[in-house]
Amino acid sequence: MKVLVCISHVPDTTSKINFTNNNTEFDKSGITFIINPYDEFGLTRAIWLQEKQGAHITVINVGTSETEPTLRKALAIGANDAIRIDAEPTDAWFVASQIAAQAKEGGYDLIIGGRESIDYNGSQVPGMVAAMLGVPFVNACVGLEVDGGKATVIREIDGGKEKSIISLPAVIAGQKGLVEESDLRIPNMRGIMQARTKPLKVVAPVESERKTKAVLFEKPASKASVKLVDPDNIEELVRLLHEEAKVI
């Protein structure tokens, strides 16, 4: 079985975000980048398929050379090889078309992505890839078992979970629950050394339209100051909620 895992190169959640050029570009200076956490859940589940069923895992990323350390980390975790499509990932349609083109060439049985990337939170790429390939798609996936040409998947829905059986090839978008955080793999020294020699193929992008463009970024408004009220002064609390906060 061949598994393709999509990897996004995203800022660490503790990073301080700033913008440059009149708030039209993301400022990458001083930022630590990591594997997108939702993608990491998918990669870990793919490693489980590798260990149980001998799956071959390829990780793929659309990005410039600065994303290669992130791909090397994925290789250190246990992926067999990596593909970097040499282009700026500025548009979801463009990214999806690049991944779909490689997926067609590779003949993968299963494509795993994250539900969303934590930088833009678009939640678009996995569904677009499935549509471009004409294969089943399961979003918000929290359970995955593969048996031959079928996959049993569990996804979160409003008020519960839904269990389905789908035919492979297919695309799933995973999240926490696909594996637990305690099950995420940390590269060990052996994995790091092996990752240095594992294949990382760099390919040129295919022709594809970019349908969107970010024109301006705006940071959330700063939190307003707070007023502390003595817990015994209920009347003052009620007055403030009524006259100033206007919530009652």
Is residue 241 domain-resident?
A: no
Is residue 237 domain-resident?
A: no
Contacts of residue 73, Cβ cutoff 8 Å, sequence gap at least 6: 35, 187, 195
Is residue 141 domain-resident?
A: yes
Query: Please, what's the b/e burial string for 160-196 (b: 16 or more CB within 10 A of its CB; e: otherwise)?
Result: eeeeeebebbbbbbbbebbbeeeebbebeeebeeebe
Q: Note down pLDDT in tens along the chain; length 248 residues.
A: 999 999 999 999 888 889 999 999 989 988 999 999 999 999 999 999 999 999 999 999 999 999 999 999 999 999 999 999 999 998 999 999 999 999 999 999 999 999 999 988 899 999 999 999 999 999 999 999 999 999 999 999 988 999 999 999 999 999 999 999 999 998 999 999 999 999 999 999 999 999 998 899 998 888 878 889 998 999 999 998 999 888 88
Is residue 248 domain-resident?
A: no
CATH number at residue 148: 3.40.50.620
Is residue 100 domain-resident?
A: yes
Sign of the torsion formed by the C-alpha atoms of 187, 193, 197 and 200: positive
Residue 8 is part of which domain span? 2-221
Is residue 246 domain-resident?
A: no
Is residue 244 domain-resident?
A: no
Largest CA distance in the chain: 70
Sign of the torsion formed by the C-alpha atoms of 153, 154, 156 and 160: positive
pLDDT of residue 72: 97
Tokens of 180: 């637990």
Residues 77, 43: contact at Cβ < 8 Å? yes
CA–CA dist 45, 145 (Å, integer): 9
- Please list the alpha-helical segments (H only) found in 120-166: 125-133
Is residue 203 domain-resident?
A: yes
Per the structure, the count of domains in the chain is: 1
